[in-house]
Amino acid sequence: MRKEREEKWLQTPKGMFSVQKRKAKQRGISWQLSYDDWWNIWQESGKWDSRGVGGYVMCRYFDTGPYSMDNVRIDTFQNNSLENYQIMGVD
């Protein structure tokens, strides 16, 4: 029962915020967004219901610097990957 509640919570905005913040920390990336900041970015984008691989993701500009209000955008997974390949010089 506890596992089911946890899995359900992970699908909520607060759960997804927690996961993204934890993954950034595991990757050594500074996280400077409050939950409200993060949620407002998603809400203002209008892309919340289309997020994920094949859809929209929260990206850092040029995949550098912290997750912060002035360094993130909502874009397609494809565009984010393309930008990263271009940075690495892969055609």
Instruction: Give pLDDT tens digits for 15-61.
Output: 999 999 999 999 999 999 999 999 999 999 999 999 887 899 999 99
pLDDT score for 86? 66
- Alpha helices of the chain — where are they, by DSSP H? 2-10, 13-26, 35-45, 77-88
Strands 72-76 and 56-60 come out as: antiparallel
Tell me, what's the pLDDT at 7?
79
Amino acid at residue number 62: F
pTM of the predicted protein model: 0.83
| Banded pLDDT at 3 (limits 50, 70, 90) | confident
pLDDT at residue 73, as a whole number: 97
